[in-house]
Structure 1
Amino acid sequence: MPKIINFHEIHDKDWFEDTLDVIQDLYEVVPFYEIQNFYNGKVKTKNIAHLTVDDGHISTYSIIYPVLKKRGLTASIFVSPKIIEEESNFWFSESCDYDKEKLIFCIGEMLNIKPENLMGIYPRSLMKLLRLDQIWKIIRLYQKKFNSPAKISQYVNLNQLLEMEKSGIFEIGAHTLNHPILSNEKDATAEFEITKSITRLGELLHRNITTFAYPNGSVNLDFGPREIEFLKKSGVKYAYSFEFKNLSPNNNLLAIPRYGLYHGNKDFIRNKLRYGALWEPVKKQFLNNEDKYRRKLQKKFRL
């Protein structure tokens, strides 16, 4: 069945090549306009897939771009114009290698929660329940307390973005300014994060931006009807979420489902693509996952 397949940062070129081998064996990898054609009823084949990449990590330029070019493939990428222009980092890349116990200590201090009540908590999941200003207060506190300097940018720069735009290999869309969990933010902040990322990216690329990917992307947890309305007002026609579902003509075009691929050998990838739409709903209902874990944390700490 037709599907969207998503990647983030890639650290192993061989893994990416192997994964593309499997994808190309199972599907015809198509440009974004074929997804538009699918939703307009002009594509009937079941074996199409479109590739997307979130965040604009430097590996998008150093690994994904040359591999797609070599294979004659295209993809959609979703980036933050602010991160690119400032050559800075999203909160999760800035804090990705922080010591877990030290980070939990800073979270407890910022939220006024005793450290013993946070023992065993996965800090990134808890941070995903906070507003962006709270997250950065935790990061600044960690940097100050433990003499941890800010990292150099891990994302593509403006010249690299413009080169990829000019290549014709990528359809480039917006991904907010700072990668907040939009549902955690007040109306004004959520709207600004969405609309400003769209308008500023359009200014950088000298064209209208009509595609968008939600940070994190869980439906009714990370975004909902409010964010969809902001996108409509901004002229966005297609927006991507994260759900292990195949494409359907009945999809909400502002919450298109995607399969995420991060790891695994060829057999694992093949099975995930073939059976993910069947397995993931069962897994989601009966097994633990991050969405369930975050909801438990939300209830426990009344966030």
Structure 2
Amino acid sequence: MAKIINFHDVHDRTWFEETLDVIQDLYEVIPFEEIQNFYKGKVTSKNITHLTVDDGHSSTYSLIYPILKERGLTASIFVSPKIIQEKTNFWYSESSDYDKEKLLNCIGEILNIKRESLNDIYPRSLMKVLSLSQNWEIIKLYQEKYYEPTKCGQYITLNQLLELERSGVFDIGAHTMNHPILANENDLTSELEIKKSIIVLGELLNRRVTTFAYPNGSVNLDFGKREIKFLREAEVEYSFSFEFKNLAKNDNLLSIPRYGLYHGNKDFVRKKLKYGAIWEPIKKRILNNEDKYREELKKKFGL
């Protein structure tokens, strides 16, 4: 069945090569133009897939790009023009290796929550239910309190972005300015994050940007009707979420589902791609998962 497969940062060349081996064994990897044709009813083949990459981590340029080029494959990438221009990091990558207990101390202080009530809480999940400004307050406090330096930028440079644009390997779309969880933001911030990223990226690429990917991307948790409205106003034509669903001709083009691949041996990847559309929705209903956990955190702390 037709599907879209997504990657983020990739650090293991062997894993990525083996994963592509599985993908190419199961599907015909098609360019984004053919996804557009699929939704127009012009593609009849069932076993097709398009590859996407979110965030624009430096490994997109150093590892993913040369491997796709060697194999004659294409993909879409979604990037933040602000992060690229300023050579900074998203909030989650800046705090990715912070000590859990120290980070919880800072979260408690910023949110005015008793520290003992945060015991056994996973800080990254809690930060995903906060606003962008709250997360940067927490990070700033951590840096000051524990003498933690700001990290060097972990994402592609402007020159690399322009090379990827010229290469023909990638279609490039927007991914907000700062990677907030859009549903956690007020109307003005959500609108600005979406629309400004599309405008600024278009200025950098010297063309109109018509594609977008939602940060995190869980439907009705990380974005909703409000964000879809902003995208329509910005004249975005295709936007991508995260759902383990195969493509269907009647998909909402501003919430196109994608499978995420992050780890696992070849057998695991093969099973996930073949049976994910059946198993993942069942697992989401009956087992614990991060989406449920985040909803519980919202209720517990009144967020």
How high is the TM-score relative to the length of structure 1? 1.00
Q: Secondary structure at the match of 1:212?
A: strand
How far the C-alpha of 1:6 sits from its partner, in A, is 0.1
Q: Secondary structure at the match of 1:113?
A: coil
Which segments of 5 or more consecutive residues in structure 2 lack a partner in the other structure? none
Provide the alpha-carbon RMSD of the alignment.
0.3
Which whole-Å deviations, capped at 9, do the CAs of 1:145-190 have from their partners, x for residues lacking one? 0000000000000000000000010000000000000001000000
1:75 and 2:108 matched: no
| Alignment match, 2:95 | 95
Distance across 2 between alignment mates of 1:13 and 1:194: 32
Distance across 1 between alignment mates of 2:129 and 2:252: 25
| Alignment match, 1:49 | 49
Which whole-Å deviations, capped at 9, do the CAs of 1:53-97 have from their partners, x for residues lacking one? 000000000000000000000000000000000000000000000
How far the C-alpha of 1:302 sits from its partner, in A, is 0.6
| Alignment match, 1:189 | 189
Distance across 2 between alignment mates of 1:115 and 1:58: 36
Which segments of 5 or more consecutive residues in structure 1 lack a partner in the other structure? none
| Alignment match, 2:20 | 20
Distance across 1 between alignment mates of 2:301 and 2:139: 20
What is the one-letter code of the residue matched to 1:289?
N
How far the C-alpha of 1:278 sits from its partner, in A, is 0.2
| Alignment match, 1:275 | 275
What is the one-letter code of the residue matched to 1:171?
D
Amino-acid identity (%): 73
| Alignment match, 1:146 | 146
| Alignment match, 1:4 | 4
How high is the TM-score relative to the length of structure 2? 1.00
| Alignment match, 1:170 | 170
Distance across 2 between alignment mates of 1:164 and 1:131: 31
Which whole-Å deviations, capped at 9, do the CAs of 1:204-239 have from their partners, x for residues lacking one? 000000000000000000000000000000010000
How far the C-alpha of 1:49 sits from its partner, in A, is 0.2
Distance across 2 between alignment mates of 1:45 and 1:225: 32
Distance across 1 between alignment mates of 2:80 and 2:203: 13
| Alignment match, 1:36 | 36
| Alignment match, 1:110 | 110
| Alignment match, 1:295 | 295
What is the one-letter code of the residue matched to 1:95?
S
Distance across 2 between alignment mates of 1:116 and 1:161: 45
What is the one-letter code of the residue matched to 1:97?
D
What is the one-letter code of the residue matched to 2:27?
Y
Q: Which runs of 4+ in 1 moved over 3 A?
A: none
Residue correspondence of structure 1 range 56-67 to structure 2 within 5 A = 56-67=56-67
What is the one-letter code of the residue matched to 1:287?
L
Distance across 2 between alignment mates of 1:132 and 1:285: 29
Residue correspondence of structure 1 range 126-275 to structure 2 within 5 A = 126-275=126-275
What is the one-letter code of the residue matched to 2:262?
Y
